[in-house]
Amino acid sequence: MTVQGLRTVTSAQNGAGAFILQCKRLDLHYNLQGASSHGLRTFVQTLLPKFARQYPQIEFRVSPTPKKHPVVRGHYINGREKPICVRNMQPNEILKKVILLKEASGEKNRRQSKPVRSLNESVRGIWSPYHGDLRGV
């Protein structure tokens, strides 16, 4: 056998071809009586139906949690989750938080110094000191 094939797996580039929204589920937990949950209760009744229809990719779960502050929790494709406490927030503020969870990728927040990250090799090649003409000192 002259040449063997090495087995690898292609790596995903979400958005290069198909785009899949990384937020797959949103859990909304609120208290039935609590005053801190008032905003989330109003949000669920007023703004949530429209938002859910706008983003059918996301599964929504609404459930009361007794004696707890309200929480919105996003579940992501990569298996991580992102909880945000929304106590004493107005429905509009909660909508902003929900949009934040929807737009997030689920990755941990990291500092990144370079704007572009690439899997491709350098198009023009890497500079080599052994090629090209000698330069006069």
Give the binding site for another protein (CB under 8 A). 1-22, 24-25, 29, 32, 44-45, 48-50, 52-54, 56-65, 77, 100, 102-105, 107, 109-112, 115-121, 123-125, 128, 130-132
**Nearest-CA neighbor of 81 among 132, 23, 135, 125?**
23
CB of 134 to another protein, least distance (A): 10
> Contact, 115 vs 71, CB < 8 A?
no
Q: Which is nearer to another protein, 28 or 89 (CB)?
A: 28
C-beta neighbour count of 46 within 10 angstroms: 11
Taking the complex as a whole, the smallest distance from the CB of residue 2 to another protein amounts, in Å, to 5
Contact 72, 98 (CB under 8 A): yes
